[in-house]
Amino acid sequence: MHLRHPPGGGRGLSGVRRVALAVSGAVLLLAAGCRQPSDAPEISLRWTAQPQPLTTGPMTLSLELSDSQRPVTGAEVRLEGTMTHPGMAPVQAPAAEVSPGRYVGRLDLSMAGDWVLLVDARLRDGRILHRQIELPGVRPGG
Amino acid sequence: MIDRFLRWRHARTALQIPPFLLGVAMIVHGLFGPQLAPRNLATLLTWVHYRGALVLVLLAGGNLFCMACPFMLPRELARRFFKPVLRWPRRLRNKWLSIVLFALVLFSYERFDLWSSPWWTAWLILGYFGAALVVDALFQKASFCKWVCPIGQFNFVASTVSPLEVKVRDTDVCATCTTLDCIRGNEEQRGCELALFQPRKEGNLDCTFCLDCVHACPHDNVGVLTRVPASELWSDARRSGVGFLSKRKDLSALVLVFTFGALLNAFGMVSPVYAVQAWLARVLGTTSETPVLGTLFFALLVVEPALLVGLAAWLSRRGSKSPGPLLPFAMKFTYALVPLGFGVWLAHYGFHLFTGLLTFVPVAQEALGFAPRWDLVGLPVRLVYPLEIGFLGLGLLGSLLVAWKIAEREAPNRTPAAFVPWAGLCLLLGGAALWLLSQPMEMRGSFLGSLGS
């Protein structure tokens, strides 16, 4: 087998170093961006979804947020529905507080399959809540 | 300018570095980033952008993804320090191993819902880097590319319909050449590691567009040139490093897995597959997905092609009164299915690419710590659907053309009789693909959950 480059030259090694440097930079940058978002684990979240079974089209998600069994009021809640397959358009909607600690949002599930709902909330005291709700097997609508 | 760049001997390395860096970023993000597939670079770039770009580049150019293959960079680096001493085992010098691996990748994709797992996708990429490194560290030449790599086999088959080919500019120059550097190499440049001797090379099969022959030729007589797409499929001349297409059972089988695998892969994305799986689970009396999927794969990748191709071959041979046994006759015509299979891959992967074209922007923004623009998505489905139909129609027309040309070659006096059964098969498969594309999509991995519903 013939080597592509004559052995012994210093140019190849400097090229390798450059690549290694670039790779290290990319890894560090990404590692910095891979930090998980902060959460408020003490907040309890209960949810129900309608209709059942879930089908494509409009769906309503009701959330109950509580902290030590006391309703969490005045939070800004946003919902985002995304499929488990990458590259699909996410659907987003706010959830409005309809009674103390109870928030309701409507989403339009555009395709049958497995969905994940991301719940992002900013509480009145500034705490941030991120939760993930799995909705497997959404059926095609009628 | 492109010509000058390709003649530069570091051209391939320069093309490999960006995908390599991207691959490293995908591995890091897949292992340590958010484990939600739409928000992770590993899953998004692998299953949406890479696959879509791959088939589009194959359609518009050639096997440029093998040319820029990042898995070869660590291998090239390793070969500076280790010189492989083993030769690839003679019994494995065929496509059977890579066919099994190709089918295994398709099976694993469905069984383990690879599209939804950044972690597993990252390990798949890492595994690929490792496999290429180990195989080519142990075995001489480009053993991994030629005999192992499932992506490479996909690219080899698909590139038969590409408009570009690495080939000789002037055959008269080759006739007077005494050094044969394109295959033997020289002190500065190795020759073709895939055993493709340029003057006798025909078509893109087994060619990784590595440019070694371009750089090795002292007469500057090898280049990336245009040709009639798919024309190599109806030629049965002896090809360097490949032999006669009509005598390669493994290549025929690869073409069948490529074509029927395209339909199977698309079938996995639509609603009816869950009804079929639930029915199979009841028949087999199991709640495990593995035997159900295994049965489905065996039926659609082995039984269905054997029955349909066997029937078409029998009718075609009978109608054209062609002599000889059925299997070699069938093998000659299987290559006609390549354009249709490619059209289905193109429609399917093109759909994901176009509908999710810009989704990499917010995911990259989030990965790098910027505010993500989640509203950036891609083209609406209603605009992409006509493109899908166009790709499928193009593939079907290509298959009909290749089938006619092969029928002309094999039955010059009874061409229509030899052609009609294969045309019927192409129309049947094209119709099945059209039906699949018009089904509501259902992207789901929750097999067990679906059984009760």
ipTM, interface predicted TM-score of the complex: 0.77
Which residues does A67 contact at the CB level (< 8 Å), separation at least 6? A42, A43, A44
Looking at the complex, report in whole angstroms how far the Cα of residue A69 sits from the nearest Cα belonging to chain B: 30
Any CB–CB contact under 8 A between B448 and chain A? no
Query: How sure is the predictor about B295, in pLDDT bands with cuts at 50, 70 and 90?
Result: very high
Any CB–CB contact under 8 A between A133 and chain B? no
The answer to whether A80 contacts B374, with C-beta atoms less than 8 Å apart, is yes
The answer to whether B113 contacts A140, with C-beta atoms less than 8 Å apart, is no
Query: How sure is the predictor about A27, in pLDDT bands with cuts at 50, 70 and 90?
Result: low
In this predicted structure, what is the pLDDT of residue A34? 54
Whether residue B334 contacts residue B309, with contact meaning beta carbons closer than 8 Å, is answered with: yes
**Which residue is it, tokens 């360097």?**
B240
Report whether pLDDT(B339) > 50.
yes
Looking at the complex, report in whole angstroms how far the Cα of residue A24 sits from the nearest Cα belonging to chain B: 9
> Phi, psi at residue B297, to the nearest 5°?
-65, -45
DSSP readout, B299-329? Answer: IIIIIHHHHHHHHHHHHHHHHHT--S-HHHH
Residues in chain A: 142
Query: Which of residues B421 and A113 earns the better pLDDT score?
Result: B421
Q: Which of B84, B115, B377 sits opposite A89 (nearest CB)?
A: B377
Query: Which of residues B444 and B263 earns the better pLDDT score?
Result: B263
Whether residue B115 contacts residue A84, with contact meaning beta carbons closer than 8 Å, is answered with: yes
Report whether pLDDT(B213) > 60.
yes
**Which residue is it, tokens 């049947």?**
B428
Q: Which of B5-9, B128-132, B392-396 has the lowest mean pLDDT?
A: B5-9
Looking at the complex, report in whole angstroms how far the Cα of residue B261 sits from the nearest Cα belonging to chain A: 20
Give strand pairing partners of B165: B225
User: CA triplet A30, A34, A37: central angle to 5 degrees?
Assistant: 150
The answer to whether B368 contacts A29, with C-beta atoms less than 8 Å apart, is yes
d(CA A81, CA A104): 14
Query: How sure is the predictor about B429, in pLDDT bands with cuts at 50, 70 and 90?
Result: very high
Phi-psi region of B136 (alpha: psi -120 to 50; beta: other; left: phi over 0): alpha
> Phi, psi at residue A111, to the nearest 5°?
-150, 145
Whether residue B20 contacts residue B73, with contact meaning beta carbons closer than 8 Å, is answered with: yes
d(CA B229, CA B243): 20
Phi-psi region of B353 (alpha: psi -120 to 50; beta: other; left: phi over 0): alpha
Set of chain B residues whose Cβ sits within 8 Å of the Cβ of A93? none
Going from the C-alpha of A61 to that of each of A58, A77, B72, B123, the distances in angstroms are: 10, 12, 49, 35
Whether residue B32 contacts residue B55, with contact meaning beta carbons closer than 8 Å, is answered with: no
Residues in chain B: 453
Single-letter code of the amino acid located at B400: L
Interface of B with A in 359-378 (CB under 8 A): 359, 366-369, 374, 377-378
The answer to whether A88 contacts B40, with C-beta atoms less than 8 Å apart, is no
Looking at the complex, report in whole angstroms how far the Cα of residue B190 sits from the nearest Cα belonging to chain A: 5
Token reading at B236 = 């049965």
Say what the pTM is.
0.89
d(CA B121, CA B27): 8
Any CB–CB contact under 8 A between B181 and chain A? no
Looking at the complex, report in whole angstroms how far the Cα of residue A125 sits from the nearest Cα belonging to chain B: 23
Q: Which of B118-122, B257-261, B302-306, B375-379 has the lowest mean pLDDT?
A: B375-379
Q: Which of B140, B446, B453 sits opposite A1 (nearest CB)?
A: B140
A137 sits in which H/E element:
strand A128-138
Report whether pLDDT(A6) > 80.
no
Mean pLDDT of chain B: 94
In this predicted structure, what is the pLDDT of residue B274? 84
Any CB–CB contact under 8 A between B36 and chain A? yes
In this predicted structure, what is the pLDDT of residue B30? 97
Mean pLDDT of chain A: 81
Closest CA in chain B for residue A135: B446
Report the percentage of chain B scoring pLDDT > 70: 98
Interface of B with A in 128-147 (CB under 8 A): 140-141
Report whether pLDDT(B121) > 50.
yes
Any CB–CB contact under 8 A between A39 and chain B? no
The answer to whether B449 contacts A136, with C-beta atoms less than 8 Å apart, is yes
In this predicted structure, what is the pLDDT of residue A140? 83
**Which residue is it, tokens 């492989």?**
B84
Whether residue B202 contacts residue B235, with contact meaning beta carbons closer than 8 Å, is answered with: yes
Whether residue B399 contacts residue B426, with contact meaning beta carbons closer than 8 Å, is answered with: yes
d(CA B48, CA B33): 18
